[in-house]
Amino acid sequence: MECFLCQKHAGKLAAPPGGYIYESAHWMVCHAPVDKAGFGTLLVESRRHFLDFSEALPDETASYGPLLKKLYLELKLITGAERIYQVIMLEAVPHFHAWLVPRAREIPERGIKFLEKDFTCDEADVQKLTMALREAMK
């Protein structure tokens, strides 16, 4: 069976909400599905199929940190998030991808309690956010 993310990158599956925000030789960034994630939750997906950093190429690892720095900065500025959680599990989809999950200051839950919540968000809001982030990432 072909990998879900590889199929998505090849255009064989529906585009993510708002389309891809950022694409480079090594990484693709999009908003997570609106029925599975809160507003501003991003997915950083490796363009090449590999499981984790033990299989990553030097250029992939070297470009990951600077990409995250820019994403954290812009996501905080645009959403007003107090914290950005980064979650990497790789169980359901064994292709490297990290979830960036913003948490607003006014949300009382922290850490794991926050991540355990069931999230959804509005597609129209996500469309606006992805446009703003795409512009900011240029």
Question: CB-based burial of residue 78 (10 Å sphere; 0-12 exposed, 13-18 middle, 19+ buried)?
Answer: middle
69: CB partners within 8 A, 6+ apart = none
| 2 — pLDDT class (breaks 50, 70, 90) | confident
Cβ atoms 39, 56 nearer than 8 A? no
What pLDDT score does 116 carry?
Answer: 93
What pLDDT score does 10 carry?
Answer: 93
Q: Which residue segment(s) compose the domain that 23 sits in?
A: 4-136
| 1 — pLDDT class (breaks 50, 70, 90) | low
Give the pair of three-digit tokens for residue 54: 């033990």
pTM reported for the whole predicted model:
0.95
Place of tokens 């914290």: 83
pLDDT digits (tens, 9 = 90+) for 10-30: 999 999 999 999 999 999 999
Query: Domain total for the chain?
Result: 1
Rg (CA), the chain: 14
Cβ atoms 32, 43 nearer than 8 A? yes
Average pLDDT of the chain, as a whole number: 95
pLDDT digits (tens, 9 = 90+) for 79-114: 999 999 999 999 999 999 999 999 999 999 999 999
Q: What is the DSSP letter of 61?
A: H
CATH of the domain at 125: 3.30.428.10
